[in-house]
Amino acid sequence: MTATDVMHEVVSREEWLKARTALLEAEKALTRRRDELARQRRELPWVRVEQDYSFHGPAGRVTLADLFQGRSQLIVYHFMFGPDWEEGCPGCSFVSDHIDGMLVHLAHRDVSLVAVSRAPIDKIQAFRRRMGWRFRWVSSEGSGFNREYGVSFEAGDKVDGKLPYNYGLNAFPTDEAPGLSVFFKSAGGDVFHTYSCYARGLDGLVGTYNYLDLVPKGRDEDGLPRPMAWLRHHDRYEDAGASPCDCERKTA
């Protein structure tokens, strides 16, 4: 190891344990705060969904109630894919790369998950096949669903160059934005909107970031023009055809 390899303070094992134990207290406090925040989230009041939303699915028209697939809880991921776009957003694709493995577990906790975009269903299906995803994905083309849940905008929505996104007027570069909404369906069939989040509120969906936050370089985005500037669709990296093991760096 050379001097240039060491980019950080190096201490004895005993000193490291002392620092690590101090950090553990901060981590435990954050965990308790996160648990409390989750409790407060669950206690938010609900809004009855009066609109009879309809979507285009692979097999035809489906309603919002249909998307529950017999369960009482529904998570909708608002995937950025506009009607005239040729492919889905790389950032939303990053989020979606984490979905398939959790579907069976969500189902066993009475939760269904679906992605919704304004792109036509044929475009969605083609992109879904390209990405190799299995989760359910429907089109809200022709519906006001996206706009009413704060993730699609029209020219008249701008105020001083800003859009009504994330519960305020904020700058956003496109007319499509990411988000997540949660719904509940009662035994009588009534549907309620219980929660929505946007922007950095979606960080917890990205398992890769959770792992990167554990390593010395972290997300390593400080010198980039914007967060996620390094990101590509998973089939667009130079080594996209390699297996995870093949992607390991080879040393001489």
What tens-digit pLDDT sequence spans the chain (252 residues)?
454 565 789 999 999 999 999 999 999 999 999 999 999 999 999 999 999 999 999 999 999 999 999 999 999 999 999 999 999 999 999 999 999 999 999 999 999 999 999 999 999 999 999 999 999 999 999 999 999 999 999 988 989 989 999 999 999 999 999 999 999 999 999 999 999 999 999 999 999 999 999 999 999 999 999 999 999 999 999 887 665 556 555 444
Give how many domains the chain has, as a whole number.
1
pTM, full prediction: 0.91
42 in a structural domain: no
Integer Cα distance of 197 and 203 in angstroms: 10
234 in a structural domain: no
- Look at residue 36 in the predicted model and tell me its pLDDT: 98
- Look at residue 251 in the predicted model and tell me its pLDDT: 43
CATH number (domain holding residue 117): 3.40.30.10
153 in a structural domain: yes
What range defines the domain where residue 140 resides? 47-203
- Look at residue 5 in the predicted model and tell me its pLDDT: 62
- Look at residue 6 in the predicted model and tell me its pLDDT: 59
188 in a structural domain: yes
15 in a structural domain: no
- Look at residue 252 in the predicted model and tell me its pLDDT: 41
| Of 98, 210, 86, residue with least CA distance to 115 | 98
User: In the chain, what is the straight-line distance between the N-terminal and C-terminal CA atoms, in Å?
Assistant: 16
- Look at residue 248 in the predicted model and tell me its pLDDT: 56
81 in a structural domain: yes
215 in a structural domain: no
- The CA-atom distances, in angstroms, between 11 and each of 2, 27, 121, 163 are 16, 21, 57, 49
133 in a structural domain: yes
